[in-house]
Amino acid sequence: MSASFPVSQETPSDFSWAPGQQPPVDRAAAPPSGPPWFELQAAGAPGAEQRPIAIEVMPDGSILVLDEADADGFAVVHRYVDGVHAGRASTRGMLGVFPPADAEGFQWPGFDFAWHAPAMDATEPATPRLIIVSTEGNQGVLFEVLVQPASSGAPLPPLQLAAQPDYLPLKRYLGMPLVSLGRSQVEGDTGLLYRSQAHWLPLVAQRRPRHHSHATLRTPIYDAREPGHVWHRVMLDACVPAGCRLVLASRCSDDLDLLDSLPFTDEPVPLLRPDGSELPWLLDAPGSRTDAGKGLGTWETLLQRCRGRWIQLALRLEGNELATRGVV
């Protein structure tokens, strides 16, 4: 036995327009005829393996792709416009905000990136800022994204990343993608959240005291009042905390007119005297007591091959910007 049931080819709708009304016209843009993706182009350094790991959209609609690392070990950002590669920029420029002692042998492969939210009181569009997190997950680095228009004719790279000195630590980061809130809650807030153990924490710039990283002090010209004088040693009453150091240089001559044209020669690194200053009447000056833990006391160095009537010293003060030096 068999039976057949007539079925309409069009299922009637449960909703019908009132007489005289017409359905609205769909004004949505037609989908592109091609596939909704584009091919990544090999645009890295020779011998580098491309490892795209994250993607973001710029305000102008172009696409940024984060490549984990180039041949030098630093993350690279590629820009695509309408599916065509339009520039690349390395994060290696971040070494410019690092102390020189920390830059040697440093590498920084990328893991994820996201846009920094606009400031709370921003009234005009600002330069786009991108936060890139490395694979180690200790902190993020803030970059300003500079795009050079193709029609400008300026001899600049089409895409540049300008590293900023903001300190963005991530505490016990679990390696999940950054989440954007789209707005800043407080000053220094990036508008991003990161996963830390069982919680999502805001990524906020931590303010730190900043001092100048270096400075040079030149002494007056001293006169020994005898030609061929052998200058012996220099003692400085100073406070040199951890992360800072003193570098002493000298120049000597028997001809005062010739002294200004001579280069400075570095002397041995000053050492902290264990018994303080040789001056007996000091009461509350840095050299009156010695505190090795604070770098406080009298610092001494022996001058090498410093012979001549006239002498001038140059004292270079160097530090990590977290502490500052004091010299009396």
Q: How confident is the model at residue 223 (pLDDT cuts 50, 70, 90)?
A: very high
- Whole-model pTM: value is 0.57
Give me 63's structure tokens. 């696409």
- Amino acid at position 218, single letter: R
Beta strand extents in 211-260 (DSSP E only): 214-218, 222-223, 233-239, 245-253
d(CA 131, CA 92): 14
Nearest to 233 by CA among 138, 287, 164, 302: 302
Please measure the distance between the N-terminal and C-terminal CA atoms of the chain and give it in whole angstroms: 113
d(CA 67, CA 84): 16
> Is the pLDDT score of 326 beyond 50?
yes
pLDDT tens-digit readout, 87-134: 889 998 888 877 676 777 888 899 999 998 887 666 666 788 999 998
Would you list the DSSP string of 7-23? --SSPPPS--PPTT--P
d(CA 292, CA 318): 18
Give me 151's structure tokens. 């029609």
d(CA 242, CA 246): 11
- Amino acid at position 7, single letter: V
Give me 105's structure tokens. 């042998």
292 versus 1: which is more confidently predicted?
Answer: 292
Nearest to 299 by CA among 253, 213, 239: 239
- How many distinct helices (H) and strands (E) make up the chain? 2, 21
Looking at the chain, the whole-number percentage of residues with pLDDT higher than 90 is: 21
